[in-house]
Amino acid sequence: MIIYDTIIIGGGQAGLSVAYFLRRSSLEYLILDNQDKPGGAWLNTWGSLQLFSPTQYSSLSGWQMPKSKEDYPTKQEFLDYLTAYEERYSFPIKRNTVVLRVEKENGLFKITSSKSVYWAKTVVSATGTAQNPYIPSYPNQNKFNGLQLHSVDYRDSKDLIGKKVLVIGGGNSGAQILSEVSKVAETKWVTLEPPQFMPEDIDGRYLFIKANSSYLDNNTHNFEEKVSLSDIVQVESVKEGLKRGVYDAVRPFHAFYENGVIWQNGEKEAFHAVIWCTGFRPYLEHLYPLNIVENNRVITKNTRSIKEPRLWLVGYGSWTGFASATIYGVGKTARTTVREIQAYFKIDS
Ligand SMILES: Cc1cc2nc3c(=O)[nH]c(=O)nc-3n(C[C@H](O)[C@H](O)[C@H](O)COP(=O)(O)OP(=O)(O)OC[C@H]3O[C@@H](n4cnc5c(N)ncnc54)[C@H](O)[C@@H]3O)c2cc1C
């Protein structure tokens, strides 16, 4: 029986970032990933997706992403980079391996997967959020006869030609998908607040400079507040949508009815389809047997579980490190995570 020092669950950018720092240690580690090829959640996103982070802020630790053809990389360019990153560092990865359960047995972690059982002294969970899409609940939602699709299942607009479509959610996903769908369908956009677009002259770079400053300043914002981290970045499709005037947004409706939605003033409006661009929650089902998951969270100090101190969680969002759910931000939390793992094994970093 092999007992690994560390098993990383999830081979997306967060898992690879941890692996990058682990490979420089003497620890024996392995990555388990349920996909059949590199790319993590990026494999299952819509075709025309453009990253909102410019090339130099779409790079993982140790190796800069090659310059993209446009200001913002395409999904395919980022997938190519992740594939090359994995090859460059020859990370040990077992693919097509779904981790079903993590349990404790005889002081070790017993990791039961769809392939076999693995044993480890420490575990890093880096399973992301894509397998747990979030859809807010509205009255009579299940009575709506039209199509309901989360952005994670949206691929392209071809099935929506000539339809009337409601896009819900005021982030980058909502704005990019709305731009594409509005070329072939009649659309309406629902956002909680009036959407904020980042000015064209302040590009996505600013977000990441700001994210980095916030991190370095320990979250004290001692610089000019020009934009918010949640502002929509003007990638090509968004610029083009703005020119066409597709971004008039309205506030949420009251409820669904069979053919559409009922607005706050009681008026009904029919739609063929609703696209939920309403984000994700951490995917932590494999950790349930450890009894440490509450409300989709694990109590952590930085990335380390308080109740299970040989378990670390990387890449899930601000609760696992500032900007840790971004390509640029995850490197910092991966590095500190590996330092803590090395300290546990009493190895110098
Ligand atoms: C539409 C969209 C656009 C985004 N654009 C940007 C951007 O431009 N710039 C930026 O910095 N960030 C962006 N993000 C945010 C973030 O960078 C991505 O969400 C990123 O994929 C998160 O990486 P991750 O490694 O944490 O998770 P994932 O990429 O989801 O990787 C987790 C891996 O673990 C696997 N896995 C899950 N459960 C199990 C299990 N039980 N057993 C085995 N394997 C498992 C998954 O299949 C996956 O391969 C975007 C996010 C979305 C949704």
Q: Which residues of 287-311 are buried (b: 16+ CB within 10 A; e: fewer)?
A: beebebbeeebbebebbbbeebebb
| CATH number belonging to the domain at 141-197+232-276, selected among 3.50.50.60, 1.10.150.130, 2.60.40.10, 2.30.30.240 | 3.50.50.60
Residues 229-252 as b/e (b if ≥16 CB within 10 A, e otherwise) read: eebbbbbebbeebbeeebbebeee
Instruction: Give mean pLDDT, residues 46-60.
Output: 91
pLDDT at 42 > cutoff 50: yes
Exposed/middle/buried for 269, CB within 10 Å: 0-12, 13-18, 19+? middle
152-169 tens-digit pLDDT: 999 999 999 999 999 999
| Average confidence (pLDDT) over 67-85 | 93
Q: pLDDT tens, 214-257?
A: 555 544 443 345 556 678 999 999 999 999 999 999 999 999 99
Q: Are the C-beta atoms of residues 331 and 213 closer than 8 Å to each other? A: no
Task: Say if ligand 1 is within 6 A of residue 42 CB.
Answer: yes
From the alpha carbon of 73, which atom of ligand 1 is closest? 8
Q: Write down the number of H helices and E strands in the chain.
A: 6, 19
Q: Which of 326, 328, 333 maximizes ligand 1 atoms within 8 Å of its Cβ, making it the mutation to test the pocket? A: 326
User: Cα(330) to centroid of ligand 1, in Å?
Assistant: 11
Band (213; pLDDT cuts 50, 70, 90): low
189 has pLDDT over 70: yes
Q: Alpha helix locations (H) across the chain? A: 13-22, 75-89, 172-181, 204-216, 236-244, 327-344
How many angstroms separate the alpha carbon of residue 12 from the centre of ligand 1?
6
Where in the chain do CATH 3.50.50.60 domains reside? 3-132+280-344, 141-197+232-276
CA distance 303 to 78: 25
The pLDDT of residue 69 is 84
DSSP annotation of 146? S
Looking at the CA of residue 97, tell me the nearest atom of ligand 1. 43
Please report the pLDDT score of residue 211 as a whole number.
60
Whether 234 is in the pocket of ligand 1, judged by its Cβ within 6 Å, is no
Residue 223: the pLDDT is 36
Cα separation, 257 vs 271, in Å, equals 10
pLDDT of amino acid 240: 97
Residue nearest to atom 48 of ligand 1 (CA): 40
Q: What is the pLDDT of residues 112-144, one digit of tens each?
A: 999 999 999 999 999 999 999 999 999 999 999
Strand-pair partners of 185: none
Measuring from atom 34 of ligand 1, which residue has the nearest CA? 10
CATH code 3.40.190.10 for 3-132+280-344: no
Q: What is the pTM of this model?
A: 0.93
